[in-house]
Each structure stands twice: as C-alpha cells, then as structure tokens.
Structure 1
Amino acid sequence: MSFRPGYQRASSTNLKAAVAERPLDGKLAVITGGSRGIGAAIARNLASKGASLILGYTSDSSAEPTAKLASSLESSHGISVLAVQADMGNSNGPAHLISSAKNHFSHPRSGKFQIDIIVNNAGVAMNMPLEEIKADEFHRQYTINVLGPILLLQAALPYLPTDRSGRIVNLSSVSASLGFVGQTIYGGTKAALEAMTRTWARELAERATVNSINPGPVATDMYGGTSLEFQNHIKPFMQNAPLERVRPGIDEDRFVRDAERAGGRPAYDYEIAGVVAMLCSEDSGWCTGSVVCANGGMRFSP
C-alpha cells in the first residue's frame, strides 16, 4: 500500500486487508466545514477511499461532533483524521488550519508535507430582499464564502503537488446562476467562487485540477432553515429537475409526504459527496475549470 508515514492508523491485520488498494490511499485531504452536513458526508466518502483528513470547523458547538466523526472514521477506515477549529471568516483562520495540518502530518524525519485534496465547503447564507441588505451582512458572507477560500489556497500553495495530481473542489450553488429571490449576496458569493475556480484552474495548472460543483437544495440544516416563502419560490425549479422527482418506497418518507408542497425532494448529502469524490479521483485528471452540476438537473451545464 502507498500510505505515507503517520497517515495510516490500521489497528489489526484484518483492517489492513480490508482497506487495501483503495483509490485515495496515501492522500491527504483538507475539508472546510467538515463537522456536519455536506462536509461530513464528503469526509465519510473520502475516508472510505483511503484518504486521511483535516476537518475544519468553526464554532465551539461543533467541537464534539467533529471529534466523534474523526474517531469514527479513523477506527472504521484505518486512516488519520485531525479536527481543527479555524474560522474561515477570520483572516488568520485559513493559515491556522494549514499550519496545524503541517505540524500534525509532516514526516517526522524529512519534514515532508503535501496536501493532495482541498474541498472548500465552508459557507454561510442569509436570504434578504434588496432593500434590507446591510453592509455588515455583505461583508460577513463575502469574507467566509469568497475570501476564506482565497486565503486557504494561499496558505496551502507551498504544499500542493507539483505533478498535476492535486485536486481542489469548490462548493458553489445553483444560486450562482438561477437568480433566486433574496439571494443578492449569497448568489453573488457563489458566482465569485465559480469565477475563481476558472482562474485557479489556469494559475495552478501544474499543481492541481480545480473544479466547482453547484448543488441545489440538500437535506441539511441550511436548507431546513430557509423560509416557506423561499421554498415556494424555488418549487417550480424543483418540479423541473428530473432527479428531484420523489420515489415512493425508495426516498425517505418525510420527503415523499412533503413532495407535493415542495415540488420534489432535496438531495441527500451523500449524493453531493459522491460528485466531489469523483472530482478528487485520479480518473478526473483531464477535467479542470468546470462547474460540474450536482443538483439533480435543476441546472443543466451549458
């Protein structure tokens, strides 16, 4: 197997046999917003494929669930997981995340340290009509959703591969292109992230591929916290998304019951994680600068 020293924590011969020859063995992945929802689902997927992980989280309330997730992934998959509290909305947060990872994962003798995968998942949203927008909320969302990924890439740049094997995946949203009411700020942040994806694909071409994905509604706390007014606004979009049509007997009962009102079902977090994992694979090496649709057909690629 190709684990780097210190990255594997297999506790038995049986576990080592069970995890042999996985596609991301020996890789190290940084996932921001890795404590719950889509971020946790991405962590589970990449861990199952052999990647060791750095899970970034922000709030004190996320410390315990992140620690539990890290312990579970280590014991289940024979990898190493480091949970780091780092606020992507603080100018020092991204650098702290990378320096903590370097201190933990550097080779004990050579000092070698490489980050193979970065998933910019952390983000915030708040819907409000144009006339209610305040400068403070504008700066909050743009700092976390746009400046945070910039600062994280700057901090990670010295440690990216030099052979194009790196993988960077940015979590955008259909909000960048569908013009949902109340999303002047949030939609703008995600459009900026998509523009940055294309620029980074050129600037980092010899280091890593850089792609975005654009989920629609996902069954997470963020979507659950949106207003009924907003959900009614996006209902026609869900009705026209071919894969969001509910499937009685297959989909969760709560989504089947709610489908007539909502117009369909949201994505499950593991469905989004699967698309991210695809873009982190060796097989995705000829794809860069793209926004890969991960929204059940709510938004088709042009």
Structure 2
Amino acid sequence: MSRPLEGKLAIVTGSSRGIGAAIAENLASKGADLVINYTSQSSAELAQTVANELSSTHKIRAVPIQADIGTPDGPAGLVSAVKSTFSKGDKFQIDIIVNNAGIAENALIPDVTVAQFENTYRVNVLGPLLLVQAAQPYLPKDRSGRIVNLSSVSSSTGFVTQSVYGGTKAAVEAMTRTWSRELADNCTVNAVNPGPVEGPMYASNAPVFLEGIEGWIKHTPLMKAVEGDAVDASMPAGTRAARTKEIAGVVGMLCGEDAAWVTGQVVCANGGMVMLH
C-alpha cells in the first residue's frame, strides 16, 4: 500500500471529531504521524480514542495535544508541546498544518454581538495566523511543506445570518494567498471551501439559514441524492450533505507531492455549490 507521507509530521487542529478527525484519518492512511489537537478537557477522551485508533490501524504515531487555538498563547503552546513530543535531538520539522478548528455563531444583523464577533475571529482567523507564526521556524526549507486552511462557501455566497462567520472565512482565504507568497520557500498554502457537511455543526443552524440555503443546495450538482445515499434530516428532500471523508480526501490530495505546483488557491470542495474562476 502506498504511503506517500511516510515520516512526515502533521498537525490537524480540531481533530477529535468531524471533518478534523476524517482529515487525520486520511493523512494517517498515507503514513503521516499526527497531532490530534483538541480544545477542551471534555474532548480529551475522544481525542485519545482517535489517536489510539489511528496509531493501531495505520502503524503511525498519533498523539493528542490539548490547546485552545482561540487564545493568544494557545497556538504557540501547541507548537511547543509538539516539539517536545516529536523532536529527535536537534531535529524537528513540521511538514503539514491543517487549520481546521473553527466555530460559527450565526445571527441576523440586529442580533450580532461584540462577543460573537470577537470569539469567532479569534478562533477562525487569529488562531491560524498565530499557529503558522509559531510553526514557521520549523517548516521545511525545500518547499515540501503543506498548509491547508479550511474555509467555507460562506466566504463568497452571502448566506443570511453569516455576517461574522462568512467574514472570518473570507479572511482565511486572504491569508492563504498572502502566506503562499511569504512561505514560498517552505511550503504550499491552499484552502478548501466546503458547503454543508454531515454532522451536528450544520444541523444546528437556525431555520432562517436553512431556508435561505435551500435553493443553493438544490442547484448543486453533486448534492442530488442517488440510490444508497443516507438521508440527512437537515437537508432538503432528495439531497445530501458532503461526507467528512470527501472533504478529507481533497485536503489529503493537497498535502501530497502531486500538489507541489498548487499554491495560493481556494479549492472548491463543495460538490459544485460554488465554482470559482
């Protein structure tokens, strides 16, 4: 079985569940050692379970490390903990960073609060920036590194209730382009922009949001359900959300050697809901 990421070290933020866990699984299957990052103590057991399963199944090293990406010291603390765990003498390199951790606090304009704005921008924008800042000294020097940022179709679609969340994802895409230039000697930097993905985060959206997005979903080529597709209660009849492994597959592709000539791009991982040019 091909293991093109054998010996590489990957940090996946927010990887105890959902898309993050699926990305960790994809990278582990390709041979990468993994940092399973999680935020709160309530996720510690789940993160340890993910790490144990990946280590056992794929014969790699997967270590859970708690760090709150949404705090000023969290990202640097994460890198410090990763270094102390994975360094071999004076040798330490971070090959892959997947900025997956994110939150959404959706509200119509009159209901948006300063706290919602600050919380969401800290986790979704400042966190990835501080993590890359802390990791930069340890990135490869031969362009073999990979950074993949999780954006969203919300950065460009203007969905109702997403003044704040959509803005954070547009910022992520802007940083992606800047980093692709500043880090060109170290790594490629790309983003992926999922639409609706299976799981509790999408299902928890308010009815006003779900109603507004329905037309988009019905016109998305790959969201038309086919025989054998599981039913998603939060999706319009006859449609389905993306599976976490489908998003993980795109991220995994961008982390491989074959993607060495792709940088500064937003790769549409949303079934055709958004077609950028």
With the length of structure 1 as denominator, give the TM-score of the two structures.
0.90
How far 1:263 sits from its partner (Å)?
A: 6.2
How far 1:224 sits from its partner (Å)?
A: 1.4
2:54 is matched with which residue: 69, 73, 87? 73
Q: 1:181 aligns to what? A: 160
2:262 is matched with which residue: 278, 283, 287? 287
Instruction: Answer whether contact 1:235 1:263 (CA < 8 A) is retained.
Output: no
1:123 counterpart = 2:102 = yes
How far 1:229 sits from its partner (Å)?
A: 2.4
CA deviation vs aligned residue, 1:50-86 (integer Å, no higher than 9, x gap): 0000111001111101100100110111111111110
Percent identity, aligned pairs only, is: 57
The amino acid that maps onto 1:117 is I
Residues in 1 aligned to 2:263 and 2:215: alpha-carbon distance in whole angstroms:
31
The amino acid that maps onto 2:244 is D
Runs of 4+ in 1 over 4 A off after TM superposition: none
Residues in 1 aligned to 2:46 and 2:200: alpha-carbon distance in whole angstroms:
15
Instruction: Answer whether contact 1:29 1:117 (CA < 8 A) is retained.
Output: yes
How far 1:41 sits from its partner (Å)?
A: 0.2
How far 1:130 sits from its partner (Å)?
A: 0.8
Instruction: Answer whether contact 1:235 1:262 (CA < 8 A) is retained.
Output: no
* Backbone CA RMSD of aligned residues: 1.2
Residues in 1 aligned to 2:250 and 2:234: alpha-carbon distance in whole angstroms:
26
Q: Which secondary structure state, in structure 2, belongs to the residue aligned with residue 276 of structure 1?
A: helix
How far 1:258 sits from its partner (Å)?
A: 6.8
The amino acid that maps onto 1:187 is G
Q: Where in structure 2 are the equivalents of 1:38-117 lying within 5 Å?
A: 38-107=19-88, 110-117=89-96
Instruction: Answer whether contact 1:24 1:51 (CA < 8 A) is retained.
Output: yes
2:193 is matched with which residue: 214, 217, 220? 214
Q: How many residues align?
A: 277
Residues in 2 aligned to 1:258 and 1:299: alpha-carbon distance in whole angstroms:
20
In our comparison, the structure showing a higher alpha carbon Rg is 1
How far 1:182 sits from its partner (Å)?
A: 0.5
Instruction: Answer whether contact 1:198 1:290 (CA < 8 A) is retained.
Output: yes
Residues in 1 aligned to 2:182 and 2:60: alpha-carbon distance in whole angstroms:
31
Residues in 1 aligned to 2:259 and 2:96: alpha-carbon distance in whole angstroms:
13
Q: Which moved more, 1:270-279 or 1:133-142?
A: 133-142
How far 1:126 sits from its partner (Å)?
A: 1.2
Residues in 2 aligned to 1:160 and 1:296: alpha-carbon distance in whole angstroms:
32
The amino acid that maps onto 2:257 is E
Residues in 2 aligned to 1:111 and 1:262: alpha-carbon distance in whole angstroms:
57
1:32 counterpart = 2:13 = yes
Residues in 2 aligned to 1:258 and 1:118: alpha-carbon distance in whole angstroms:
31
1:135 counterpart = 2:119 = no
How far 1:228 sits from its partner (Å)?
A: 2.4
The amino acid that maps onto 2:93 is Q
With the length of structure 2 as denominator, give the TM-score of the two structures.
0.97
Instruction: Answer whether contact 2:160 2:208 (CA < 8 A) is retained.
Output: no
